[in-house]
Structure 1
Amino acid sequence: MSRRHLTRSEREQLELFRALPGNLAPRDAQDLMAYPFFSLAKTHRITPIDYRMNDIAIRVEAVPEHGMATIWDADVLIWAASQIVEARDAGLRTSRLMAATPYEILTFIGRGVSARDYHRLKAALDRLQSTTVATTLRQTSERRMHRFSWINEWTERADAHGHADGIDLIVPDWFYRAVLDDALVLTIDREYFALTGGLERWLYRIVRKHAGRQRAGWRFDLRHLYAKSASLSPFKRFAFELRDIARRQPLPGYRVAVECDRTGRELLVFAPGTLSTGACGQPVDGVVPSGTQDRVPSGTGIACYQEPGAVFSAGNSVTCEPPNLDSNQEESNSSDVGRDADRWKTADGSRR
């Protein structure tokens, strides 16, 4: 083997893939949706994530200079996944070496395009590159850890006048192979990018991964959700914020509620649907018929001719469909899914 071949950079070995134009459907990698890989806070986090469940181990580490990659930084990976899947489906050659303008990335993920937004994008790329991940996910046959960074390297391109006009970045092989596997990618709602809270964003991805399009939805024990989030907040604060999300219903395409089982354990319940179409009667104006010649204010944010129905049925009985069909086969076969869904206990305590 020649000395020149030994010293070739990774960039020199990869063919450049130019980002596709147009408003592509956003795609997300299921592994990134189901497990704790990112900080949920906008504050500087250097505390590692150390998650273990059965045969799955995840260790995420940050450097003090940049801090851990956040769930907002992960939008860049959603952009990358969407580009790779779109190109593959169109029969085009894809590559881990991707080229785009900051404008293309920022507009896809719903950000502004000012100088400040551009500098924030560069800071996100720095965090994605400096954050390291070690995991056994998709390494189960070998029981070995795969270590990588979310971006192997990134480079600014400049025009003839020295002004930045593009970005080249290299995504890791672990991520690239997951995106190319149809079973490991899901389309997400574009309204996801409008969610401002880290916990809201994380919860949407968990809900989209597990509830999918099943009418019966999915259930999670709050304590187990807390472990899967890798949040640094105390559990009481975490549970309070989940209850607040259930009150506000901000997740696009899904309804969420907090219920208690017969033992008093709190469960987060979620299913496809929206309150504006499924829980309310016929929508009307901000006033309703009063029974006289005059119309009076309805007194509610969403006016209805009838009382809004409950998001979920009341009571402690739980009847559910089989596990989420959108889950990838690897996770569906693991005991982690059984723990997530608590094996769908029925009212008499038996397991389905």
Structure 2
Amino acid sequence: MSVRHRTRSEREQLELFRALPGDLAPRDAQDLMAYPFFSLAKTHRTTPIDFRMNEIAIRVEAVPEHGMATIWDADVLIWAASQIVEARDAGLRTSRLMAATPREILTFTGRGTGARDYHRLKAALDRLQSTTVATSLRQINERRMHRFSWINEWTERADAHGNADGIDLIMPDWFYRAVLDDALVLTIDPAYFSLTGGLERWLYRLVRKHAGHQRAGWRFDFRHLHVKSASLSPFKRFAFELRDIARRQPLPGYCLVVERETGGRELLAFTQAKSSTGSCGQVVEAHVLSGTNGHVPSGTGPTCYQEPKQANSRGRSIASEPPNLESNVEESNPSVVGHHRDRWKTDRSAR
């Protein structure tokens, strides 16, 4: 009589890692900061992201029931990355199987801790698990695609009375390996979690990834940014919103300037803020852009306005150096990955 051996589940093969207490520095994975992996809208998105640039390919798909994981849902991944890096640096054993209370995740990401916030967290976990990603990033052979979901599985833990008192989740190997690689993780400003706009959040992560502590900052042209964002907004609308963000200066620690070339091409230039407060210029009250659809983030002012007419000047520059627009090509070219990794190692003092 043959003996049948039960195959061990992924959960049974992993050692449980319990979330560390206290205030941890937020850390983000550079790949998630540089490429379009998430919906930037709070409305339900099922349209896939299909991004290709040089040898890099990214395909993100959602199911109609939950929709695509949003950039707000990605806060859970920032929490996970922060926990893993903190434990590793302390010499503790880490694992893809992580246990935490909803309160620990919510407070870390600057959310409330009421019943409504807990239900929103569960919805975010559902979107992270049901969203599928296929990418050639960090693959030895660029023709190979690594396929995964942002969370392999998640479960609720209950106390002796049946009340939910915790969450267990299994992170994908692709994400876990990126976080353990110190050259692929950056510390971000905790004020990031207070940014309410999806485009603002995406732009901060891109700026933090590329500008870092470089004195001359970085530059991108508007159309390149539109492609990298995978936004469903028409380019004209997208450009309008970029100009409005540059006007309001909401990104913590960075200054934004719109530069206009003689031929009409617009560039977004960004560099570190020089003020002691870490902000650039005067932050004005956010208003709802005319034509805004879907859900408006709470706290947004009710006033609507039309886009002002553009001046005929080229705009002011924030650095004397020529625009480093070669980044538009290099950032997506695996042949220069080693160069970028070495450059970012000089930024470790901020991690």
Global fold match (TM > 0.5): yes
State the Cα distance separating 1:111 from its structure 2 match.
0.2
State the Cα distance separating 1:143 from its structure 2 match.
2.2
Q: Structure 2: which amino acid aligns with 1:131?
A: T
Q: Matched residue of 2:186: which SS? A: strand
- 1:156, 1:164 within 8 Å by CA — same for their partners in 2? yes
- 2:256, 2:269 within 8 Å by CA — same for their partners in 1? yes
- The residue number in structure 2 matching 1:112 is 112
CA distance, structure 2, for counterparts of residue 329 and residue 225 of structure 1: 13
1:190-339 correspondence runs (5 A) = 190-273=190-273, 313-314=316-317, 319=322, 333=336
Q: Matched residue of 2:5: which SS? A: helix
State the Cα distance separating 1:224 from its structure 2 match.
0.4
CA distance, structure 2, for counterparts of residue 234 and residue 61 of structure 1: 21
- 2:46, 2:63 within 8 Å by CA — same for their partners in 1? yes
1:31-70 correspondence runs (5 A) = 31-70=31-70
State the Cα distance separating 1:274 from its structure 2 match.
5.3
Q: Matched residue of 1:38: which SS? A: coil
Q: Matched residue of 2:202: which SS? A: helix
- 1:154, 1:170 within 8 Å by CA — same for their partners in 2? yes
Residues 134 and 316 from structure 1, CA distance in 2 versus in 1: closer, same or farther, beyond 3 angstroms?
Answer: same
1:102-181 correspondence runs (5 A) = 102-141=102-141, 143-181=143-181
CA distance, structure 1, for counterparts of residue 211 and residue 334 of structure 2: 14
CA distance, structure 1, for counterparts of residue 196 and residue 169 of structure 2: 26
Identity %: 79
CA distance, structure 1, for counterparts of residue 224 and residue 323 of structure 2: 19
State the Cα distance separating 1:323 from its structure 2 match.
7.8
CA distance, structure 1, for counterparts of residue 325 and residue 213 of structure 2: 13
State the Cα distance separating 1:70 from its structure 2 match.
0.1
- 2:55, 2:334 within 8 Å by CA — same for their partners in 1? no
Q: Matched residue of 2:208: which SS? A: helix
- The residue number in structure 1 matching 2:19 is 19
Q: Structure 2: which amino acid aligns with 1:61?
A: E
State the Cα distance separating 1:4 from its structure 2 match.
2.9
State the Cα distance separating 1:260 from its structure 2 match.
1.1
Q: Matched residue of 2:91: which SS? A: coil
CA distance, structure 1, for counterparts of residue 59 and residue 240 of structure 2: 27
Q: CA RMSD in A?
A: 2.5
Q: Matched residue of 2:157: which SS? A: strand
- The residue number in structure 2 matching 1:81 is 81
CA distance, structure 2, for counterparts of residue 176 and residue 4 of structure 1: 29
- 1:29, 1:186 within 8 Å by CA — same for their partners in 2? yes
- The residue number in structure 1 matching 2:289 is none
Query: What is the TM-score normalised by the length of structure 1?
Result: 0.80
CA distance, structure 1, for counterparts of residue 266 and residue 86 of structure 2: 40
Q: Matched residue of 1:255: which SS? A: strand
- The residue number in structure 2 matching 1:4 is 5
- 1:260, 1:316 within 8 Å by CA — same for their partners in 2? no
State the Cα distance separating 1:317 from its structure 2 match.
7.4
CA distance, structure 1, for counterparts of residue 182 and residue 331 of structure 2: 9
Residues 162 and 128 from structure 1, CA distance in 2 versus in 1: closer, same or farther, beyond 3 angstroms?
Answer: same
State the Cα distance separating 1:255 from its structure 2 match.
0.4
Residues 122 and 277 from structure 1, CA distance in 2 versus in 1: closer, same or farther, beyond 3 angstroms?
Answer: closer
State the Cα distance separating 1:264 from its structure 2 match.
1.8
- 1:216, 1:320 within 8 Å by CA — same for their partners in 2? no
State the Cα distance separating 1:318 from its structure 2 match.
5.2
Q: Structure 2: which amino acid aligns with 1:4?
A: H
Gaps of 5+ in 1: 282-311, 338-352
State the Cα distance separating 1:262 from its structure 2 match.
3.2
Q: Structure 1: which amino acid aligns with 2:336?
A: N
Higher relative contact order, structure no. (Cα contacts within 8 Å, ≥ 6 residues apart): 2
- Asked if 1:93 is matched to 2:55, the reply is no
Q: Structure 2: which amino acid aligns with 1:192?
A: Y
Q: Deviations over 1:39-84 (max 9, x none)?
A: 0000000000000001100000000000000000000000000000
Larger Rg computed on CA atoms = 1
CA distance, structure 1, for counterparts of residue 269 and residue 110 of structure 2: 28
State the Cα distance separating 1:140 from its structure 2 match.
3.9
CA distance, structure 2, for counterparts of residue 203 and residue 278 of structure 1: 15
CA distance, structure 1, for counterparts of residue 266 and residue 332 of structure 2: 28
Residues 267 and 20 from structure 1, CA distance in 2 versus in 1: closer, same or farther, beyond 3 angstroms?
Answer: same
